[in-house]
Amino acid sequence: MSGAFSLEVASGIGTLRIMREAKRNALDTQMMDALADLCRQIERREDIGVLILTGSGRSFCAGGDISAWSGEGATRFARHWVRDGHEVFDRLARLRQPVIAALNGPVLGGGLELASCADYRIAEDHVRFGQPETGLGIIAGWSGTQRAVRRFGAQIVRRMALFGEVLTAQQAVQAGLADQVVPEGEALATARAVAQAALTRGPLATELTKMLINAAEGEERERVLESLAGRIAAASEELREGVSAFKEKRPPDFGGKED
């Protein structure tokens, strides 16, 4: 695992912490690669029912490390920094487990895009939200104009991205960017309580419901449809007969029966 992340698992709850305090937990290329690997691992771990995402120290995530992308040429910037970043954040947003973001520091730029991947966001009362990219002469490149619009609405994204509005934690709740505001230092504990409540619900029903909600808002619709159909097919007598026939080198006898 990258030293820039820590993953702790206890009682069905995984806590993924960004560990780069000196850079306010800003993400660079190596960290994005590590996050993609971690998402693959978390997806397959049966001992993680809910994932909490947070930052170390007093920072959640300062977004993309400017020193990591500012020297890139236009082609490499678009091909690797933006496109690869999309793939990583897509993987996080599409985890089968519910994801809770414990927002313990500013949620700006790429940090807001990262928080957007979560299913539930808990903000400490000192946290601020915004999209400052156009002030740097660049755009939000990790779905800040796409997933953020789908999940929060176009107008609030316009206000942040086009006009530079920065929201307080309370304003973020009112605008739908966050779900709950808590006093400073209490985001992680509150996230654990929310995670415990989620763990009391049916795990398969929760997984399927998250997939359906994602599909309804335009997140991974094609994969959701094929995954749900595949789950039905994999549980059918037809599959068992088809596999047996293949192994026994004979024609399958489906018999026109349903499972």
**Which residues are part of the catalytic machinery?**
113, 133
CB atoms within 10 A of CB 240: 12
Q: Which of 29, 27, 51 lies closest to 39, judged by CA?
A: 51
Angstrom distance (rounded) from CA 12 to CA 192: 11
CB–CB of 99/92 below 8 Å? Answer: yes
Q: Which residues contact 141 (CB under 8 A, 6 or more apart)?
A: 64, 81, 82, 85, 86, 110, 133
Please name every residue paired with 61 in a beta bridge, in sequence order, or none if there are none.
107
Give the Cα separation of 248 and 251 in Å (integer): 9
